[in-house]
Structure 1
Amino acid sequence: MSILQTPDEGEVTGETAAIYAEERADLGYVPSHSRVLAMNAEAYEGWGKLVSAIAGSMGMRRYELVTLAAALGLESRHCRLAHGQKALKFMGEDELLRIAKDYRDAGLDEAEVAMMDFAVKLSTDAAAMNDSDSRRLRDLGFSDREIVDIALAAAARNFLSRFLQSLAVDVDVPPNLGEAMRHALLEPFGPE
């Protein structure tokens, strides 16, 4: 539990109130991670612009796959749950359940698995990465821009996940995420 005290929705004004309203409209609630990041509204806005620049270029399905893989490598319950919910906008629940349990055995094409492998490695041992990691992506048809976007998406997830973990921000379970999905997303991390 974080020592940070974030204001309730009825207590915020200005930019922070706008952030809370946007989150409520998009997700149906204001997650703890958004409340903490909104303590620096300029950073929240900058984060949103960065994500839009990356995801807008690579497409939301790819962005969510890379994000889920990076969160797996980081053992980020925050991001696995939040992006599990967001990914449901771009894939069916059955497919996402298979991906959450084992993306390498989920029926994804080789290029999608390679993106996710890249994101996991970046999130677990970036110092060990070399040209062979990027070359695998190139050999599967990714352009230079697409490779950069995959790396940016995974690195951005590292930034936010480590920020949340460092402050012991409460992990929210999205209210419309079913029990089976929640379990599949969190299972790799051990008991909840």
Structure 2
Amino acid sequence: MSILDLPSDAEATGLTAEIYAEDIRSMGQVPSHTRAVSLNPEAYLAWESLTKAISSSLGVRRYELVTLAAAQAIGSDHCRLAHGKKTLNILGEDQLLAVARDFHDAGLSPAEVAMMDYAVKLSTDAAAMTDGDSRALRELGFTDREIVDVTLAAGARNYFSRVLLALAVDLDIPEGLSPELREALLAPLPVRPANSD
């Protein structure tokens, strides 16, 4: 549980009040992560601008798949649940369940699996990455910009997820997730043998 003193809807002022109002318009509530990070509203708005720039360039489907892979690798329940809910607008629940359980066996394209593997490696052992990791994406048809965008999406998720974990932000459970999907999204990353692809 976070020690932060988070403003209520009625207590928020200025930019923070505007950020709260946008969440209420779009989601019907202000999640705990918004309340925490918008204690620095300028940084929160910069984060929003960054993620919009990345997702509009990469495409929503790829952005959400990379985000889910990175969030699962980090162990971020906040981001897995929030982006699991967002991904329901892109994938049906059955496929999202398969992605959450093991994206390697979820009917995704080889390019999508590769970019998710890349996001996992960036999130768990970035120091071990070499040009071979990005070359593997290029060989599957990714352009240089798309490789940068995949990297930015995974790196940005590391930033935000780790901030929420460090601040012990309360976990919000989004409405509309079945118990089965919620459990799958919160499961640890499956352990795969080396060179299993």
Q: TM-score scaled to structure 1, two decimals?
A: 0.96
* Alpha-carbon distance in 2 for matches of 1:138, 1:32: 38
* Alpha-carbon distance in 1 for matches of 2:84, 2:156: 17
Q: Secondary structure at the match of 1:39?
A: coil
Report whether the alignment pairs 1:176 with 2:176.
Answer: yes
Map of 1:10 onto structure 2: 10
Q: Secondary structure at the match of 1:36?
A: helix
Q: After TM superposition, give the deviation of residue 14 of structure 1 in Å.
A: 2.1
Map of 1:114 onto structure 2: 114
Identity %: 61
More helix by percentage: 1
Map of 1:124 onto structure 2: 124
Q: Secondary structure at the match of 1:29?
A: coil
Q: Which amino acid aligns with 1:25?
A: R
* Alpha-carbon distance in 2 for matches of 1:28, 1:174: 11
Q: After TM superposition, give the deviation of residue 11 of structure 1 in Å.
A: 1.5
Q: Which amino acid aligns with 1:145?
A: R
Q: After TM superposition, give the deviation of residue 13 of structure 1 in Å.
A: 2.1
Q: After TM superposition, give the deviation of residue 88 of structure 1 in Å.
A: 1.2
* Alpha-carbon distance in 2 for matches of 1:173, 1:67: 18
Aligned-CA RMSD value = 1.3
> Runs in 1 of length 4+ with deviation above 4 angstroms?
none
Map of 1:165 onto structure 2: 165
* Alpha-carbon distance in 2 for matches of 1:17, 1:64: 27
Map of 1:39 onto structure 2: 39
Q: Secondary structure at the match of 2:89?
A: coil
Q: After TM superposition, give the deviation of residue 176 of structure 1 in Å.
A: 2.0
Q: Which amino acid aligns with 2:165?
A: Q
Worse-superposed segment, 147-156 or 21-30: 21-30
User: Over residues 41-80 of structure 1, what are the superposed CA-to-partner deviations in whole Å (9 max), with x where a residue is unaligned?
Assistant: 1001100110011000010010000000000110111110
* Alpha-carbon distance in 2 for matches of 1:135, 1:70: 19
Worse-superposed segment, 59-68 or 81-90: 81-90
Q: TM-score scaled to structure 2, two decimals?
A: 0.93
Q: After TM superposition, give the deviation of residue 85 of structure 1 in Å.
A: 0.7
* Alpha-carbon distance in 1 for matches of 2:13, 2:89: 30
- Structure 1 residues not aligned, in runs of 5+: none
* Alpha-carbon distance in 1 for matches of 2:178, 2:8: 26
